Amino acid sequence: MYNKYIKLVLAVAIFAWAVFQFVEGNIMNGISLILLAGIFVLFYFKNEFIIMAFLQLRKQDFDGCQKWLGYIKNPQSALVTKQQGYYYYLQGLIVMQTNINQAEKLFKKALSIGLSMEHDIAMAKLNLGGIAMSKRRKREATTYLNEAKKHDKQGMLKDQIKMMKDQMKKM
């Protein structure tokens, strides 16, 4: 994995090479090099290992997701702020299966750093509500579920939120 600043330096160097190719009259080479530089800029904002981890998570392959996240050694220096939020969000989803106390810390850290998609915020708050409910903290669970409902603008988590609220009524 390249450091985030190395990616930008490579993008600038490749772009300079592309400009040189345009000046020399090699238009196709210049266009190809600009596209290559664009890939490095894309990977600056969207980390390649987090993308691969999300793809593994879509297949319900938690071990594969953990493997891809394991390639990120130091998230504070290797990732942009939003990517750090998603790193901890994915770690929380993986750890949720075995250790809910650790998952709660990871979800709270992801939310404090920030997630860019509303449905990811809703999912994190839904999981925090489930953790609070399992620990018999009904008021906190209700707060998290209401916040999750507020962030779930497309209604993708409506059934899960309703089911958890029904379970809380039985508590």
- pLDDT the model gives residue 2: 60
Residues 129 and 82 in one domain: yes
CATH number of domain containing 59:
1.25.40.10
- pTM, two decimal places: 0.82
Residues 27 and 51 in one domain: no
Q: pLDDT tens, position by position, for the chain (171 residues)?
A: 567 788 889 999 999 999 999 999 999 999 999 999 999 998 888 888 999 999 999 998 999 999 999 998 888 877 888 889 999 999 999 998 888 899 999 999 999 998 888 888 999 999 999 899 888 888 898 899 889 888 888 888 888 888 888 888 877
- pLDDT the model gives residue 169: 80
CA distance 158 to 152: 8
Residues 32 and 100 in one domain: no
Q: Which two tokens stand for residue 83?
A: 């990517």
Residues 32 and 52 in one domain: no
Residues 39 and 57 in one domain: no
Residues 28 and 105 in one domain: no
CA distance 6 to 128: 36
- pLDDT the model gives residue 5: 83
Phi, psi dihedrals of residue 33, rounded to the nearest 5° = -70, -35
CA distance 37 to 16: 10
Distances in Å between the Cα of 13 and the Cα atoms of 6, 7, 41, 74 are 10, 10, 12, 25
- pLDDT the model gives residue 37: 94
- pLDDT the model gives residue 15: 96
Residues 75 and 12 in one domain: no
Residues 74 and 152 in one domain: yes
Number of domains in the chain: 2
Q: Which domain holds residue 120?
A: 47-170
Residues 111 and 124 in one domain: yes
Residues 133 and 105 in one domain: yes
CA distance 91 to 107: 8
